[in-house]
Amino acid sequence: MSWTCHGKTNDEMVDALKRAGLVRSPEVEAAMRAVDRALFVPPQQAPYRDAPQPLSAGATISAPHMHAACLELLAEGGRLRPGARVLDVGSGSGYLTAVLAHLACRGEGGRVVGVEHIAELVEGSRAAVRRLGWAAEMMAGGQLRLVQGDGYAGYPECAPYDLIHVGAAAPRLPPALLAQLAGGGRLVAPVGPEGGPQQLVV
């Protein structure tokens, strides 16, 4: 059912993801409804189409079904809960980082950090988050951070993390990220050669 979860609105897109069995938990559903994907996609693109969409600087935002699958993997076992500490590597548009913040930053000690190496994307993601009132407050309070840096180096300042999501494929899991994962934590990442077969590793 992947690649067919289109909609004309954000809610229609989430409805399609639910029908396909990709959005299963009420928490993930609520968070995806709370973050309008259109805020994070250039206006000339199709934000609710179940396909990657071009951003600036040659980057793309992943298809909605990929975001849904990763969110559900992170949420398994109640891990993605209020108070969780989450690192989003290759945060790009900031969309998934904002969804993660909706899930994690509402509890005491909750923190979400998005790391992106392209400065233009970092600035764009911050601007998009500011258009979401609740997320703007989290960013102002330091619970939600969008920073420029080498994602494969992680963000040691806020480590350890209960959950780490990696948006860009790597030939192997970066050791620095594994070192910043809390005991019993979960890391979700696509692993494989560039341009070759890749596997989502949990």
DSSP state of 170: B
Q: What mean pLDDT is predicted for residues 87-100?
A: 98
User: What does the pLDDT read at residue 191?
Assistant: 80
Phi and psi angles of residue 186, each rounded to the nearest 5 degrees, phi first: -135, 135
Could you tell me if 65 and 18 are in contact, meaning their C-beta atoms sit under 8 angstroms apart?
Answer: no
Question: Domain ranges in the chain?
Answer: 62-201
Q: Strand 111-116 and strand 85-89: pairing?
A: parallel
Topology adopted by domain 62-201: Rossmann fold (3.40.50)
Q: What mean pLDDT is predicted for residues 14-24?
A: 97
Average pLDDT, the chain: 93
User: What does the pLDDT read at residue 114?
Assistant: 99
Indicate whether 101 pLDDT > 60. yes
Q: What mean pLDDT is predicted for residues 193-198?
A: 54
Cα–Cα distance between 152 and 14 in angstroms, integer? 30
User: What does the pLDDT read at residue 194?
Assistant: 61
Indicate whether 3 pLDDT > 90. no
Catalytic residues: 62
Cα–Cα distance between 105 and 85 in angstroms, integer? 8
Indicate whether 199 pLDDT > 70. no
Indicate whether 1 pLDDT > 70. no
Phi and psi angles of residue 181, each rounded to the nearest 5 degrees, phi first: -85, 130
- Tokens 């998934």 belong to 96
User: What does the pLDDT read at residue 197?
Assistant: 45
User: What does the pLDDT read at residue 202?
Assistant: 64
Least confident of 6-10, 89-93, 186-190: 186-190
Q: What is the per-residue pLDDT across 138-171, written as a single tens digit (0 to 9) for each?
A: 999 999 999 999 999 999 999 999 999 999 877 7
Least confident of 18-22, 64-68, 158-162, 170-174: 170-174
User: What does the pLDDT read at residue 190?
Assistant: 83
Could you tell me if 129 and 102 are in contact, meaning their C-beta atoms sit under 8 angstroms apart?
Answer: no
